[in-house]
Amino acid sequence: MNEPVITRFGNGQTLLSLPTDRFKTEYLTVQFATPLDDAAQALTATLAVMERGSTAYPSRLLLSRRLDELYSATLCTCNRKVGDMQVWGFSLDFLARRFTDDTNVLDAALDVLSGVLYHPFAENGAFRAEDTRIVTRELCDAIRAAVNNPRAYALAKCRKLLCADEPYARSLLGEEETFAALTPKALYECYRARVAPQKPFFFYAGAEEPAAVCALLEKHFTAIGDARAPYRAAVRPAGERREGGEQLPVSQGKLVLGFRANVTYGHPLDAALVVLNEIFGGSPASKLFLNVREAMGICYTCFSSLDLYKGVLMAQAGVESAHRAVTEAAMLAQFAAVRAGEITETELNAAKASLAFAYRQSEDDPSLLADIYINRRVAGIAETRTAWRERIAAVTREQIAAVAAMLKLGACYFLDGTLSAGEEEA
């Protein structure tokens, strides 16, 4: 699939689009980028309140039913971190016109979306108290429910340890203690200060011509702001290793090792870091999978993942607590092997093949493509994905060893499962 078409419209707006009739579902998203800071939690809550209704559809029930009428169009909130930015907004997916009774679903769905964004239901300078109460309660529950997923819980704890005192360590849901400050008035203030003035990133994948989509965006988005926060991502090597952990009454422990390097997108060794992650723990052909999971037979999950916008690599394993030390030693031994350049031709080729697969696989997922392209624009990356793919293919063993030398273990977190064997079978 080609690079997205860039079309300018209105007062300095830009639409990225992938004109295609390959899909029966079309996709449009409107996203914004603001600094990841103390207002992140309020912004998350504000988005949730906005999703509960607009002046045209003033309740979640009415909004939801309107979307059902539009052939089950889906309106979703986006909210994620890119570097030390919070990237957020709304997306729509809906049936292509050829599967409807010739309804222009895009036009109608944009009417709903623009209402949610620019005409939220508010009275006297505040959101409805009831909406705020429901949203803050649901977000509080979501924070508490993090423990329901021990793997994600341990990962978040290690990330926090690794990047302590940096915005990146912050959860987009925030902390329970600060929810009291999220009043209907405070959230509406957040809306006015953070949402309304921002300049959006638009992305569309579907059968309509870009010019026709731009015309609809101009029609519905009449109150677009022009603020655009500069990109930021504090990049630094890991400091001294930090230890963390806690005990929970679960059967399996979760070991997470957090590494970081001052290498992110744009660094000369960025592609090498991506290939390194793939070789270390990114696929079933990786060192962690083959040499720790398969060869030692003491863990079911053992893999690594990379956030290239932050230069943070996390390796994790689910192990019986008794095997913690031996697993940690084995994982670090595999990392040492990568660092020593002990990478076979087979490993290097498999890693590149896996990344080439992921690249082409993303072409089948417009929402994933949208996030990829928008992330790159947020971070100011001008390089095309094709050029990026070629750089990945050209990465050498020496470059991997060089970037491995910059990557340092900065945090180790262990969630200690305290259930004994007998209790497990109960």
Partner 1 sequence: MHETTRYQSDLLGEHYLCYRHPSGLPIYVFPKKLSTAYALFAADYGASDNILSAEGKPTLPSGVAHFLEHKLFANADGSDSFERFSALGADANAYTSHTRTVYLFSCTDRFDEAFSELLTFVTHPYFTEENVARERGIIAEEIRMCRDNPYERCYYNMLRGMYHTHPVASDVCGTLASVARITPETLYTAYRTFYDLSNMVLAVCGDVAPETVFDLADQLLPKTAKNAPVPRLSNKITPRVYRPRTAAKGVVARPIFSIGIKDTAVPSESAARVRRDACFSVLQEILFGPSGELYQSLTDRGMIAPGLATDYVISRDAAFQQIAGEADDPEAVLGEILAYIEKMRKTGIPQADFERCRRVEYAEYIKSFDSCEEIANTLLSFVMEGATLFEQAEVIRTMRREEVENLLCTCYRPEQITLSVVDPIGKGEK
74 versus 384: smaller Cβ distance to partner 1:
74
Residue 201, both tokens? 């990133």
Residue type, 180: A
Which element (helix H / strand E) includes 91?
strand 85-95
Cα gap 165→78, rounded to integer Å: 25
382 versus 426: smaller Cβ distance to partner 1:
426
Which residue's structure tokens are 């809306």?
A: 191
| Among 213, 212, 214, CA closest to 8 | 214
Cα gap 187→132, rounded to integer Å: 8
Shortest CB 135 distance to partner 1, Å:
10
Shortest CB 213 distance to partner 1, Å:
19
293 versus 310: smaller Cβ distance to partner 1:
293
Contact 126, 188 (CB under 8 A): yes
27 versus 118: smaller Cβ distance to partner 1:
27
Which element (helix H / strand E) includes 112?
helix 105-118
144 versus 192: smaller Cβ distance to partner 1:
144
Shortest CB 390 distance to partner 1, Å:
16
Shortest CB 43 distance to partner 1, Å:
18
Q: Distance between terminal CA atoms of the chain?
A: 53
Shortest CB 65 distance to partner 1, Å:
5
Shortest CB 177 distance to partner 1, Å:
16
Residue 192, both tokens? 């006015």
Shortest CB 420 distance to partner 1, Å:
9
71 versus 168: smaller Cβ distance to partner 1:
71
Shortest CB 45 distance to partner 1, Å:
14
Contact 254, 151 (CB under 8 A): yes
76, 78, 79, 81: CA torsion to nearest 10: 160
147 versus 227: smaller Cβ distance to partner 1:
147
3-state secondary structure of 352: helix
Shortest CB 130 distance to partner 1, Å:
8
230 versus 249: smaller Cβ distance to partner 1:
249
Contact 286, 324 (CB under 8 A): no
167 versus 281: smaller Cβ distance to partner 1:
281
Residue 86, both tokens? 């919070």
Question: Where are the alpha helices (H) located in 254-396, listed in sequence order?
Answer: 270-277, 287, 295-296, 324-339, 345-361, 366-378, 385-393
For the chain, how many residues are written?
426
Instruction: Compute the half-sphere exposure of residue 178: CA atoms within 13 Å on the CB side of its CA.
Output: 17
Backbone angles phi, psi at 93, to 5 degrees: -125, 145
